[in-house]
């Protein structure tokens, strides 16, 4: 999701998603607050802004706005009133510290208003950035102005001085990471400066680090560092948003928090050599070939705890079946998306935990219904649903034809469904999309079709497509299979179990935009309150730590399962 060019993605991903009381100093027009709250809607967000006009813009994105200079006592008093005797657990500076006369004093004052374990994340300008050094060599300095009455004199920092500034204010610095812009120009500049650095005895690693950083992203904690847990994961190669909900999104949320050292990838993962062993997650890996099994055995020998993750019925893949489900027997624990799937997996491994699928980030959506244009947009975009919609096609086509002036269709991936729609209906087709593009297309629609036939495979699916619709402000018309199992869903989706009821659902919603609006608002409220990855962060942290604490017992169980599964000689 793109909120604006003024949002530093490195700062955004550094703010823990389990925070409940956030202060942003220099909140500007509020777009950064909007971006963070799209990931963590539970946060109570206080904005502080110097300029009245920007503060007015920001007011709609924050819970409370304070206007003025953060260094002024009256403004600190205003922050005390805004926090209502509570403490902040996250403080954000995107680009304000350099403009303060006494930044350490401000950092100390805000630390006093931050609870133990609270985090400060700040973007601090780097005086050693290659562009500044280049300008100085040319006799130029961008921070000098001819207007002596209003000089531009920001404070600039090296990595070392930025860290010391936080330490002087009582913060414990956890990270000081470079934020890099213009990578190609940066590489060229580093090559140009390399001979000078070598002659001065500056290491190539330090040269690259210090010259490449446009800003230092400082992450500091109020108190001692948290106990750290290592988590690594291998997901499937990226295709149609299968890996993101089970690997990328939950681990990105986990990585934002102090006490978590996290690395993941699709098909492979790079784990730094100096990391201690922790939990290694295998998403949809069959463990049916020698090389991968040797890698897993090596990880276990080095002290890693191995988990498998699966979010569909494994009988669907012959590799699981032919290996006698070694992917679950031969690991320490398994995570799944639903309780029915957990019940199945427990026959091969009793250590199964359910982490329901969730939403990483709420997309921006239009407030009106329909969202754009005179017609409601109907979305269809699930994989491998040909057998699910085939028996409904005549009813859907009949509704589409008779409602051609009220509906238009957006179809992703399923070209057969797109071609089955009558030519007189307005329709758009997209080939299989990456997950972010899929969600963008979905967020532009008003209704979605989610048919699921009653089959053993479908009964073990999760409700991911349903909650994606809710997050995107889309009302699902859906089968009761899976989607009707959650009571909260019944007031959000429109459920249909016969061709006639599918046609009726389309007709009724096309005639009643108010009903569409009411259901979409209930869906958004449900996801915000119950189905965000941010809400799972504490649960996942505790789960991974428990796995490590129980590792000796889990390893004994794993070896017993493998021995029991070996064929008798």
Task: Spell 255-267 as b/e; 16+ CB within 10 A means b.
Answer: bbbbbbbbebebe
Percent of the chain with pLDDT over 90: 82
> What digits encode the pLDDT tens for the residues 91-127?
999 989 988 989 999 999 999 999 999 999 999 999 9
**Which residue spans within 284-418 are E strands per DSSP?**
305-310, 333-336, 352-354, 376-380, 407-412
Instruction: Determine how many CB atoms are found less than 10 A away from the CB of residue 379.
Output: 25
Q: What are phi and psi of 176, to 5 degrees?
A: -140, 90
Res. 469: pLDDT tops 90? yes
Predicted confidence band of residue 202 (pLDDT cuts 50, 70, 90) = confident
In order of their start, the domains of the chain are 9-221 (3.40.50.150), 229-359+541-565 (3.40.50), 376-530 (3.40.50.2000)
**What is the layout of strands, in order, in the sheet containing 64-67?**
64-67, 44-49, 21-25, 88-93, 114-125, 215-221, 172-179
Residue 440 CB burial class (10 angstroms; 0-12, 13-18, ≥19): middle
Question: Both tokens of residue 238?
Answer: 């990226």
* Backbone region of residue 271 per phi and psi (left: phi > 0; alpha: psi in -120 to 50; beta: other values): beta
Reported pTM: 0.92
Report pLDDT digits (tens) over 452-467: 999 999 999 999 999 9
| Band of pLDDT at residue 470, cut at 50, 70 and 90 | very high
Tell me the average pLDDT of the chain.
92
Residue 478: the pLDDT is 97
Report how far Cα 23 is from the mean position of its chain's Cα atoms. 21
Per the CB < 8 A criterion, the answer to whether 287 and 323 are in contact is yes
Q: Between the CA of residue 172 and those of 94, 162, 213, 255, 456, what are the distances in Å? A: 19, 12, 21, 18, 53
- The tens digit of pLDDT for each residue in 509-531 reads 999 999 999 999 999 999 999 99
Distance CA 397, CA 110 (A): 61
- DSSP letter for 170, please: T
With beta carbons less than 8 A apart as the criterion, state whether 89 and 22 touch: yes
| Cβ atoms within 10 Å, residue 295 | 13
Q: How many DSSP H helices and E strands does the chain contain?
A: 24, 19
Contact between 357 and 311 (Cβ < 8 Å): yes
Token output for 258 = 């102090």
Cβ-based burial of 162 (10 A; exposed 0-12, middle 13-18, buried ≥19): buried
In angstroms, the CA 154 to CA 459 distance is 61
Distance (Å, rounded) from C-alpha 297 to C-alpha 306?
A: 10
Helix (H, G, I), strand (E, B) or coil at 235: strand
Per-residue pLDDT band for 559 (boundaries 50, 70, 90) equals very high
Mean pLDDT of 363-367: 94
The pLDDT score that the predictor gives to residue 156 is 82
| Residue 59: DSSP 8-state | T
- In DSSP terms, which residues pair with 283 in a beta bridge? 309
pLDDT value of residue 152 = 52
Residue 19 to residue 88: CA distance in whole angstroms: 9
- Bigger pLDDT: 238 or 192? 192
User: CA-CA distances (angstroms) from residue 411 to 184, 379, 480, 555?
Assistant: 38, 6, 22, 47
CA 382 from centre of chain: 21
**Each residue of 303-348: pLDDT tens digit?**
999 999 999 999 999 999 999 999 999 999 999 999 999 999 999 9
Contact criterion met (CB below 8 Å) for 1 and 206: no
**Helix, strand, coil percent values for the chain (each to nearest 5):** 45, 20, 40
User: Is residue 6 scored above 80 in pLDDT?
Assistant: no
Alpha helices in 200-322 (DSSP H): 204-212, 249-255, 290-301, 318-322
Q: How many Cβ atoms sit within 10 Å of the Cβ of residue 473?
A: 27
């Amino acid at each position: 999701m793109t909120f604006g060019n003024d949002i530093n993605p490195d700062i955004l991903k550094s703010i823990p998603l389990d925070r409940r009381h956030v202060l942003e100093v220099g909140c500007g027009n509020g777009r950064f607050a909007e971006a963070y709250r799209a990931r963590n809607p539970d946060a109570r967000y206080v904005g502080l802004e110097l300029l009245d006009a920007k503060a007015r813009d920001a007011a709609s994105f924050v819970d409370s706005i304070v206007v003025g200079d953060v260094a002024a006592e009256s403004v600190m008093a205003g922050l005390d009133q805004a926090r209502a005797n509570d403490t902040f657990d996250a403080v954000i500076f995107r680009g304000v510290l350099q403009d303060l006369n006494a930044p350490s004093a401000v950092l100390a004052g805000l630390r006093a208003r931050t609870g133990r374990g609270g985090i400060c994340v700040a973007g601090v300008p780097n005086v050693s950035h290659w562009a500044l050094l280049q300008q100085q060599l040319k006799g130029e300095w961008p921070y000098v102005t001819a207007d002596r009455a209003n000089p531009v004199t920001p404070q600039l920092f090296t990595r070392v001085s930025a860290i010391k500034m936080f330490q002087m204010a009582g913060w414990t610095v956890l990270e000081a990471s470079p934020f890099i812009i213009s990578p190609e120009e940066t590489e060229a500049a580093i090559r140009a400066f390399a001979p000078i650095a070598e002659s001065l005895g500056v290491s190539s690693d330090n040269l690259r680090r210090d010259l490449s950083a446009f800003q230092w992203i400082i992450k500091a904690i109020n108190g001692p560092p948290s106990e750290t847990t290592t988590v690594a994961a291998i997901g499937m190669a990226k295709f149609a948003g299968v890996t993101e909900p089970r690997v990328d999104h939950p681990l990105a949320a986990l990585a934002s928090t102090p006490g978590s050292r996290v690395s993941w990838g699709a098909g492979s993962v790079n784990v730094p050599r100096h990391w201690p062993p922790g939990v290694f997650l295998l998403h949809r890996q069959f463990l049916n070939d020698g090389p991968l099994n040797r890698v897993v055995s090596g990880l276990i020998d080095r002290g890693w705890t191995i988990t498998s993750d699966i979010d569909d019925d494994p009988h669907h893949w012959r590799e699981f079946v032919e290996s006698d489900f070694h992917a679950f027997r031969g690991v320490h624990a398994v995570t799944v998306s639903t309780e029915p799937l957990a019940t199945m997996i427990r026959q091969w491994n009793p250590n199964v935990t359910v982490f329901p699928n969730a939403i990483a980030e709420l997309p921006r959506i239009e407030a009106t219904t329909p969202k754009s244009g005179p017609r409601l947009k109907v979305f269809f975009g699930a994989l491998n649903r040909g057998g699910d919609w085939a028996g409904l096609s005549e009813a859907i086509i009949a509704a589409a034809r008779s409602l051609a002036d009220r509906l238009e269709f957006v179809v992703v991936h399923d070209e057969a469904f797109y071609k089955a729609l009558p030519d007189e209906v307005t329709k758009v087709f997209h080939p299989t999309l990456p997950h972010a593009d899929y969600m963008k297309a979905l967020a532009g629609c008003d209704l979605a079709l989610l048919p699921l036939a009653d089959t053993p495979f479908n009964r073990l699916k999760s409700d991911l497509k349903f909650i994606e619709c809710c997050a995107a402000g889309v009302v699902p018309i859906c089968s009761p299979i899976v989607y009707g199992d959650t009571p909260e869903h019944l007031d959000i989706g429109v459920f249909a179990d016969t061709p006639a009821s599918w046609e009726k659902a389309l007709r009724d919603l096309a005639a009643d935009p108010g009903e569409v609006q009411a259901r979409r608002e209930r869906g958004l409220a449900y996801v915000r309150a119950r189905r965000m990855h941010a809400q799972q962060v504490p649960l996942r942290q505790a789960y991974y730590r428990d796995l490590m604490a129980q590792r000796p017992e889990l390893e004994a169980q794993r070896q017993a399962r493998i021995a029991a599964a070996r064929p008798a000689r």
